[in-house]
Amino acid sequence: MAADKRKRNILIIDNTSRSRNLLKDSLRDHFMCFDVDTGEKGLKVVTEVGTRLSAVLINLVMSRVSAVTLLQEMNKQKLIPGLPVIVMLPAKAEEEEKQCYGLGAVDIIHKPYDPTSVVRHIRSAIDLAERLKKDSSGADPVSVLSRIIMQQSRDIERQKDNNNHIVDAICTIVELRHLESGFHMQRIREFTRILASLIMNNYPEYGITPDQIDIIVQAAAWHDIGKIVIPDAIIMKPGKLTADEFDVMKSHTTRGAEILENMLDKNDTRLFSICSDVARHHHEKYDGGGYPDKLSGDTISMPAQICGLADIYDALNSDRAYKSAVPPDRAFEMIVSGETGAFNPKLLNCFKMGRAELEGYAVRTRQEEKAQQEAG
């Protein structure tokens, strides 16, 4: 096994030639890759040259030796300590995932996967192993690992703060370009939070969690980012748009998704998927009458449904270049009656339950917005 000293050595154990080649192609710029096509061969390599490996990546599909069996054998031979092992599994293989973690796997990559995320998973696993090795001389490994986890948790929190700063910066840009009021961004985030919390508490089948609500609220702030590329002549037109102009306006959904797909970290899969989905689909309608993809029912994600309703509710409550605001009670009636398009009945139930809180926040921030405008 000839090693390139400039790159870390990793072993790929993958019994599918196509998958093995794809992994090598995506990893060879970052690591020196060695590969075998069976668990037995992989065990032999680890036994013979494991000390020269920086990580092992296991992807065994319908194989005689499964990932779990291979990890069990590696444990018997005491090959796991100090060698990061990453296992690739289908997203719903919960029991196998638990077994792999219990047998010493440091990470699980869910399939289908993004090649760039595989690089990041491997680098993180190697970094963690090296930090453990460096910091554990004479120290309790549990306390060392605890310190590392605490540091990583702080890094995650800093990243969350950075994401919030980016959201705020985009809100400011939109406000300065007069595409929307800064209060619109403030209101739609709060309306989204109220509705998402009600969905979580009343309709658990949608799987909304408190952590996910935070991401949906961030997505709400990004939802109209595509309007950045729409000409002012269309955005600020005081009258009705022509058919061609409306087609341009509708493109803010797809353009917004494209912008976010280029801006966001694809490794943060939940933030990436929810934000780009909301940007693209917040104008879809439950009956299939929306755009751009004419989705219907629950093929529209619940985050996109929530942000879509929150957006329309605030639009009705706000002055725009082409219309005046309607009173909150009238806005409520228009949405419930279907004048503004079809919505999920469960979401409408939550809208009704949250009416007092939604209207109270709308009135309060409208007063603040008016006072700010009058103050110049």
Residues noted as catalytic: 227
Instruction: Give the Cα separation of 262 and 357 in Å (integer).
Output: 36
Would you tell me the crossing angle of helices 210-222 and 141-176 to the nearest 10 degrees? 30
How is residue 114 written in tokens?
């993004």
Count, residues in the chain: 376
- In sequence order, which residues have a C-beta less than 8 Å from that of residue 234 and are 6 or more positions away? 241, 245, 248, 249
How far is it, in rounded angstroms, from Cα 50 to Cα 100? 19
Convert 199-238 into a string of H (helix), E (strand) and C (coil): HHHHCHHHCCCHHHHHHHHHHHHHCCHHHHHCCHHHHCCC
- Which DSSP string corresponds to 148-194? HHHHHHHHHHHHHHHHHHHHHHHHHHHHHTTSS-HHHHHHHHHHHHH
Pick from 45, 47, 58, 54: nearest CA to 9: 54
Task: Report the C-alpha gap between 7 and 4 in whole angstroms.
Answer: 6
